[in-house]
Structure 1
Amino acid sequence: MALSRRTPSFAAAAMIYAELYDGISPMVQRVSLRVAGQGSTAMLELKNVETQGSQRWSLADMRQVPDQASADAFIFAPDNAGPARLVIREREALRILLSALPDLKPLRPRNGSPLRLLGLAGAAVVAFGAILFALIPFMADKGAEMIPPATEMALGQTTFNQIYPAMGAYECTDPAGQAALAVMQTRLTDGLDLPYPVQVHVVFDPSLNATALPGGYVTLHNGLIQAAETPEEVAAVLAHEIGHVAHRDGTRAVLRRTGSFGIIGLAYGDFLGSSAVAAVTQQLVNSSYSREAEARADAYAHDLLAHAGVSPASLAVFFERLRAEGLDTDLGVFRHLSSHPGLLDRIAASTAAADHGFTQGPPILSGAEWGALQSICQNSAHTAIDKS
């Protein structure tokens, strides 16, 4: 666009307008323009026609954005660093402004821009990785220690009440089966010091699964109970999940998935929307913890079982038998074991734990109690889980 250089002033012209992009909001602002002052101190006043808010750009510092001018518009920047852009389309406004900018210079490219951009991209990737794999896990571990036990228990109840109905599962409440489960739980947790009581539930779901939710909530799927050959195998899985409870792994997992926003919210007793947290926690049912967390829960289970007079090798027996029967490709929370290089090590560790000061006690359940536990979902009408 060829423009002749004249010396008219904005004051002598009719009201002229331009489009302002402030570099912060995606919204375009319609602004009126006026030059104030003269010489090196002259300023361009931009006034928002809606809000009447105004700002001033130094004419001496203004730059034309190169390679962005079209046949009907010129684009200007406030200086060489500011993100704002002023788009002027009115011919008369351009004529007047350019006459007031005899030394207008183009916007300079950033020094070393290709390498600099590559470096910035690399730094962003490193920063993101540090946040994802270091900072958030660290904050989750520390955040779990900050959350009051009552808040964790309420979170566990909320997620339990929402997750399983969404899966089509229901809680099994046959009185004889629940009494047998209580006998097993008491045997394992006798004298155990935890920040909240362990609450064990059986849900009718055919998957071979068990889950430790926040706040001491543990669920055993009926499919796992049916796959076990002895009550000691179920007790071994339950002891493993209690290990996750003791280390608050369920809460840590929720915090890692919700990030710093969830950590702060839960620390102050705010679930940030129970549905959202429940959706995050539902992933716990279909995923696994880290290898370190699983090994830690295994070691805790070994001690818990030995203290209860149950062989720590029961966990290895359960894993090994399912593996031998080819069932390890669909083990719910144990699904990762089918390809996990540490499976044989975990089996060996459970077997070896039985050789260190273990004294065999009586069966953890009687024959009648074991039968009642296996029939917990069959001998009574199911109980719908309260979604509230």
Structure 2
Amino acid sequence: MVEKDASKLLDKYYENKCSQEEIFMIESWYFHMAGTIEHEIDEALVESICKEIWDNINPDRKKKVISLYRVAAAAAVLVLVLGSLWYFNDHEKGTLPLGIERMPVINKAILELADGREIYMDSTSQFQIATQEGVIKAKEGTLIYPLAALSDDSVYSKNKLTVPLGGKYQITLPDGSTVYLNAGSSLTYSTKFSRKERSVKLEGEGYFEIVKDISRPFKVNCASQIVRVLGTHFNVSCYPGELVKTTLLEGKVKISLTSKSPQKDKILDPNQQAILSGQDSIIISKVNAEDVILWKDGSFVFSQTPIIEAFRQISRSYNVAVDYNSLPKDIKLEGCSRENVPLSELLKQLSDNIGTTLVLKGDTIKAETKSIR
């Protein structure tokens, strides 16, 4: 992006004509600059421009008209920082600048507040938002809610945290519990939990570390099941079109089906995994639970994993498409990768594993028809 393009983008922002992707870029620039003002352009000017953008993010504040000089200066700064924020634009579409290696998950997410406002966050985001329940903070890839008093209200404000493909994010809930969200996931939750229970809705994958509270069970609603706990550590994967898997690391969890199935509730012990097959059957097996949550650290562990399932994980983590028809059939993968391995290195490792050359063409992983053996 050249300075002229950056200036036009800022003009569109102040005229409320930006697309969601453009808003994401501008506001991410704000959060980046607010915490790291280390450029040659006058710091006071940059801080003033950041304030203008913050006023635009917060509709309750009076908007001001930015001068042409400050637009030009903002455009100059924007050109400097957009290179480091490429993943909020081209990376969202799966396209990387030439010469940049594709890496797995980056800390980024979108917070949707109860009033409809959306806040775009990355690992550099540091801000505070005042709400009726207290001050919400973002710091170093983590969204932190204030510990809230118990509520007797029947209606609670709902927030939603969405992690795009190629991302991950961490949140501390109002009861102090921590949730790690994987790529392509979302969590809907109350800003204040009731006296009877703590309930959230998960789409995608999340690892939960729940604060123990015997008087208020914690419920995770996902797909066709409900996971109930008092205080424990567990992982739930419930991506659309895939098997729903619940894995326990410590404590106990109870799994119930939402359908009118004769299937009885299931209780999991540590290192057990429950797989929801269809709408009315739960199968329990023994696993190494620590391996299941290594996605938090950017690693992959495959243990007799069907190749289609493995590449679904890779597709989400690296934000790439996969030509599943080109993959060899009936192959199960075995092995693990180091943390945050570049995609090119992972594809080479998997190519050696399955005996077929895997390549990235454009933004799509394909298996070459010619065997490497």
TM-score range, shorter chain: under 0.3
TM-score scaled to structure 1, two decimals?
Answer: 0.21
Question: Normalized per residue, which structure has more strand?
Answer: 2
Larger radius of gyration: 1
Question: Normalized per residue, which structure has more helix?
Answer: 1
Q: Whose RCO is larger (CA < 8 A, sep 6+)?
A: 1
